[in-house]
Amino acid sequence: MNNIVLCGFMGCGKSTVGKNLARKTGRSFVDMDRYIEQREGMTVAEIFEKYGEDGFRDREHEACRELAGMNGLIIASGGGALTFERNVKVFKGTDTIVFLNVPLNVIAQRLKNDTRRPLLQRPDKDKVMRELYEKRLPSYRAAADVTVPGQGTPLKTAFAIMEATNIKK
C-alpha cells in the first residue's frame, strides 16, 4: 500500500485534510515538519536558526527518504519540500503525490490571523507571500500525480482525494 503525499502552499490544508483523509482511510497521518522536529529535538524555526535553510533542507530530504520507505501513510509535506527535485524523486513511482490547489486569496484569508509562521509576521507579508506562491506553484504542479481543488471543507477535499486516487475506506 503506497503513501499519499500531500503538497501545496502553506495554508492549503495539507495537515487538516491529511488528518481527515487518514481517519477516512484507516491510514496513519504524518506531518513532515512535526516528524523532523521530533527527530531533531527542536522546532523547524530552531533548525533554521542553528543550521540555516540548507541544514533544514538536508534534514527534510532525509525525512522524505525515511517516510518513502514506509507504507500506508498520509503525509503532509512541508510547504517547500516538493519544490526540490531530489525530494520529488524519492516519492515518485511508488507513492502518489497530490497537489492541493487553493487560490492565493483563499490561503490569505485562512492565514490572516496566523502567528506561527515567521513569514506572516512581516509588514510586507502579502507581497512576499504572493511572490513565494507564484514561484512555488509550477513546482507543485510538476510534482503532482493528481491535482485536487482544496478550497472546500477538509472533509470534502479528503473525499475528493479518495476518489481521485482510488483509495478506499
Domain containing residue 113: CATH number: 3.40.50.300
pLDDT band at 42 (very low <50, low <70, confident <90, very high): very high
8 Å CB contact between 120 and 74:
no
Q: Is the dihedral of CA 46, 86, 135, 140 positive or negative?
A: negative
pLDDT band at 1 (very low <50, low <70, confident <90, very high): low
pLDDT band at 157 (very low <50, low <70, confident <90, very high): very high
List the domain range (segments joined by +) for residue 111.
4-165
Provide the number of structural domains found in the chain.
1
The residue-averaged pLDDT of 26-37 equals: 97
Q: Which has the closest alpha carbon to 45: 59, 61, 58, 56?
A: 56
| pLDDT for residue 168 | 75
The residue to which cell 497521518 is assigned: 29
Q: How many residues does the chain have?
A: 169
Q: Which has the closest alpha carbon to 19: 39, 41, 4?
A: 4
| pLDDT for residue 95 | 96
Q: What is the tens place of the pLDDT at every residue in 99-125?
A: 999 999 999 888 888 777 766 777 888
